[in-house]
Amino acid sequence: MAFAASAASGTVLVYGDSLSAAYGMPERLGWVALLAERLKRERPDYSVANASISGETTAGGLARLAKTLERTHPAVVILELGANDGLRGLPPAAMRKNLAAMIERAKKFGARVLLVGMRLPPNYGPDYTRAFERAYAEAAREERVAFLPFLLEGFAEKQDLFQADRIHPTDAAQPRVLANVWKALLPLLE
């Protein structure tokens, strides 16, 4: 976990899994580091704290969120969890409940929240993949927070932009990830 210390008036907390933890590449090349650079240029009143952990599930994220909020005091939380729940075949209803609980905690702390969704490969079956995607949309709607339906929108089918595991984007794809996040995040910085 990397926590940025800054005199900025607001912290953007990125709370995710390996997709936000720069898995398989130097941290400086990941989308969160690129976000920090962009904020420094365009919104210097914000800094970034990255509390993303590879392999994290929504249950694990929920368990450690209170301490992370206390430590970082975020103005905005980018919540990017759930992919590992899906890869493990965990119940989407439990994932939705965990996401909603994390959103509620962040909001009680005074933070604005951007929920970032994920999609699963079709081999998980149509019923499960639809329920998985729907869990994000329902949590965002019920909790009334900003929502990015799919982190990897626009390039998920381009295998040359993924590492050998076909799950984690390469460093070349990180600007695309940031572009997706930035569009959804910008209104929360206004």
Is 18 an annotated catalytic residue?
A: yes
Domain 2-189, what fold?
A: Rossmann fold (3.40.50)
The reported pLDDT for the residue numbered 190 is 80
Name the active-site residue from 6, 54, 168, 171. Answer: 168
Name the active-site residue from 17, 18, 47, 85. Answer: 18
Name the active-site residue from 6, 54, 73, 165. Answer: 165
The token pair that represents 124 in the structure block: 């998980």
Return the axis-axis angle of helices 58-72 and 92-108, rounded to nearest 10°.
10
* Interval 22-48: pLDDT, tens: 999 999 999 999 999 999 999 999 999
The reported pLDDT for the residue numbered 83 is 98
Mark the ranges of the chain whose per-residue pLDDT is less than 70: 1-8
The reported pLDDT for the residue numbered 152 is 98
The reported pLDDT for the residue numbered 4 is 44
Is 165 an annotated catalytic residue?
A: yes
Main-chain dihedrals φ then ψ at residue 25, nearest 5 degrees: -155, 160
- Beta bridge pairs of residue 114: 78, 146
Is 168 an annotated catalytic residue?
A: yes
d(CA 84, CA 56) in angstroms, rounded, equals 7
The reported pLDDT for the residue numbered 132 is 98
Instruction: Kindly provide the b/e burial profile for residues 114-127, where b requires at least 16 CB atoms within 10 angstroms of the residue's own CB.
Output: bbbbbbbeeebeee
The reported pLDDT for the residue numbered 174 is 98
The reported pLDDT for the residue numbered 8 is 46
Domain ranges of the chain: 2-189
pTM given for the model: 0.95
Can you say how many angstroms the Cα of residue 181 is from the centroid of all Cα atoms in its chain?
A: 9
